[in-house]
Structure 1
Amino acid sequence: MDSATRSSAFTSLSRDAERNLIARTRPFAAQDTRRSWWEVGTTFAALLGAIALAALPSWWPLRIVGSVVQALALIRSFILVHDYLHGSLLSGSRIAKALFHTHAVLLLTPPRVWTESHNHHHANTARLAASASGTFTTWTAQQWREATALERLAYVVERHPLVMIFAYPLAFLGGLCIVPFVKHPLRYWSAGFAVLLHVTISAAVFHFGGLGVYLTAMVLPLSLGYALGAYLFFSQHNFPDVALREDPDWTHASAALEASSYLACGPVMAWFTGNIGYHHVHHLNPRIPFYRLPEAMAAIPELQNPRTTTLHPRDVLACLRLNVWDGKRGRMVRFRDVPASR
């Protein structure tokens, strides 16, 4: 089925049909506590093992392998924090709260900052009129035409691939920690604490482990992990057949089905990314634990024909080339495809 046909099918759902669809996802929001703790235990065991591999061997190629595995394990551990803050993973456990809040600070995603911005993202995905808090800014072709040169430059910089490559210092250390703390130090004190703790740990690793360990056990895995994480977040809502809507046409279900992608990947990457590739299911009901997302998709026919992307270089490039929303054409286009006048 092509994108136009899919778009027509989803937008034709009545409000009652959309409510019914969301209701049919609710049984999958019930978590298995033992399964949840197993997923937590295996994730942190993999992360600690990868850190050891990145820091201890004397043969540096083996440490590089450890760095890559650590980066992937960090992404999975972030998904666990993400699910906990959504209330879909061990939400009633004090131990889980202490673990995930601590890990969130270590990951440079202070819980309060992340929750506020991410909840806004979920409530406004694919709404053209909404502010860009918690996500990448997306302009319409008209906004691009009417913007000043300085405004255009800021927009281009925000969506540039280099910003994703350097997401570690720019998006996480800067955007999620330093900026909120500077603006509201009392409200976001944990963001300032995250920066202080990060600098302290970095200095300790460098002092006791030396430059080599600092690079392979900290700089490289964090840089790789945050870069891939930033791209995943970008591509989940910026892909060739995404559909954005004005407020009168916007619904929660259409945003999930039309503007949240399914990342087709193998079981290894699905494990390391915590099934976040089932993003259309997650946006339809964020209370579903990550390990039940495939089950929900398999059980509900409306979720089985998603807007799909992959990590193939061809698809990555296709996502990165999308710049602005052209409402007349009903799709994302490149800057050069925007006419100079209306």
Structure 2
Amino acid sequence: MAQNENSRVQGWFRETKKYEKPSKARALWQILNTMVPFLALWAVILWLHHSGQPYLLILPFIIVAGLFMIRLFIIFHDCTHGSFFASATANRVLGTLLGILTFTPFADWRKAHSIHHANTANLDKRGVGDIWTLTLEEYQAASPSTRFWYRVYRNPIVLFFLVPPILFFILQRFPSGKFEQKTLLNLHITNVGIAVVAIALGFLGGWDLVYLVELPMFYLASVIGVWLFYVQHQFDPGYWQRDEQWQAHDAAMLGSSHYKLPKVLQWISGNIGLHHIHHLRPHIPNYNLERCYRATPELQLANPLTFRTSFASLNLHLWDEKNQTLIGFRTARQRLRGLAPRLSLS
């Protein structure tokens, strides 16, 4: 980056730091306007269930409550960054409680997510808190079994409908990698809390409240959550670099998307579509992201992803280092055929 350009970037980047300051009023208001509707939806669901109403009448309320669980997860996410409240204790306590509701252990997820932020778009530091992404050359050199499982993993049905429940319901019940005693204790608290909520629901209205209401509710939230995470870093052209060329600023601005959603969905998802800003300044709480975006022209990207255009990301599977873009299996097959005509990519 040229010196003048570097100075200009440093100038507007410094200006964005003020948005990192948490607001207790905004934080409490966000808790209120999220938890009250969420609990009200649960109250309606319980009333309809006790009244013997058909499941199809209850289902719309489950779906809407699932959307509010996404918003709860965004608050949880801010707590792991220590950005939602000024108090570290308040972030830890609220994050742990929301972790119970969202099936996600606060301390363990905070550790993995910090690694994700430190290594986003770094080809030499993949594997923690990200979507499994191979380069074109790695895919070419991989064994047939690795290529097979990679294609299975990248299948939208698997990635968005099977991976989320496996991740949230099973894998997150156990520690990931090396852990400290505090991390393990927090994991146990989360697991016990999940069990207590399930037992309470069982006593309130029977176990069908667990497997017909709570689990489907969070299943929906987890599917949408994984989709949001996917399009935040898997888009055309994208940005990936080897460690020696990797730049944090470029990883944020070029390797993290601006997912421009309709206002209702932007509200539900806690402004997380402004993901380039989030990676540029991870300590900006979600309720300040829109303010930062509006006040900083340099963050107003010319070609954001829209709800409609984002689905093209489903056809992107491999990073082409030579051409610096994500490509699909079909394009990969064509490019590799020119390099190695006899290579089978099936």
TM over 0.5: yes
Equivalent pairs counted in the alignment come to 330
User: Matched residues in 1 for 2:279 and 2:101: separation?
Assistant: 26
Which amino acid in 1 is paired with 2:106? P
SS of aligned partner of 1:121: helix
Map of 1:1-342 to 2, 5 A cutoff? 14-57=5-48, 58=51, 59=53, 60-92=55-87, 94-161=89-156, 162-178=158-174, 180=176, 186=181, 187-206=183-202, 208-210=204-206, 212-305=208-301, 307-312=303-308, 315-316=310-311, 318-338=312-332, 339-340=336-337, 341=339
Uncovered stretches (5+) of structure 2, i.e. residues with no partner: 341-346
Contact 1:72 1:225 in 2 (8 A): yes
Which amino acid in 2 is paired with 1:31? P
Contact 2:82 2:91 in 1 (8 A): no
Which amino acid in 2 is paired with 1:266? P
**Which deviates more from structure 2 when the two are superposed, residues 30-39 or residues 269-278?**
30-39
Contact 1:136 1:158 in 2 (8 A): no
The structural deviation recorded for 1:87 is: 1.7
Uncovered stretches (5+) of structure 1, i.e. residues with no partner: 1-9
Sequence identity, in percent? 27
Is the alpha carbon distance of 1:330 and 1:12 closer, same or farther for their aligned partners in structure 2, counting shifts above 3 Å?
farther
Is the alpha carbon distance of 1:20 and 1:128 closer, same or farther for their aligned partners in structure 2, counting shifts above 3 Å?
farther
Q: Normalising by the residue count of structure 2, what TM-score does the alignment of the two structures yield?
A: 0.86
User: Matched residues in 2 for 1:280 and 1:45: separation?
Assistant: 30
User: Matched residues in 2 for 1:193 and 1:16: separation?
Assistant: 47
User: Matched residues in 2 for 1:248 and 1:276: separation?
Assistant: 29
Is the alpha carbon distance of 1:104 and 1:287 closer, same or farther for their aligned partners in structure 2, counting shifts above 3 Å?
same
Q: How big is each residue's C-alpha offset from its partner over 1:108-157, in whole Å with a ceiling of 9 and x where there is no partner? A: 21112111111111111111111220111211100101111222233334
User: Matched residues in 1 for 2:147 and 2:2: separation?
Assistant: 32
Which amino acid in 2 is paired with 1:334? G
User: Matched residues in 2 for 1:293 and 1:43: separation?
Assistant: 18
Q: How big is each residue's C-alpha offset from its partner over 1:23-73, in whole Å with a ceiling of 9 and x where there is no partner? A: 121011122221211111211112111222333224434421111111111
SS of aligned partner of 1:336: helix
Which amino acid in 2 is paired with 1:87? G
Q: How big is each residue's C-alpha offset from its partner over 1:6-34, in whole Å with a ceiling of 9 and x where there is no partner? A: xxxx9998544443343121011122221
Which amino acid in 1 is paired with 2:326? M
Is the alpha carbon distance of 1:263 and 1:109 closer, same or farther for their aligned partners in structure 2, counting shifts above 3 Å?
same
Question: Cα RMSD between the aligned structures?
Answer: 2.6
Contact 2:116 2:128 in 1 (8 A): yes
Q: Normalising by the residue count of structure 1, what TM-score does the alignment of the two structures yield?
A: 0.87
User: Matched residues in 1 for 2:69 and 2:4: separation?
Assistant: 38
User: Matched residues in 1 for 2:195 and 2:163: separation?
Assistant: 17
Q: How big is each residue's C-alpha offset from its partner over 1:205-256, in whole Å with a ceiling of 9 and x where there is no partner? A: 3454236533443122111000000110011000122122222332111111
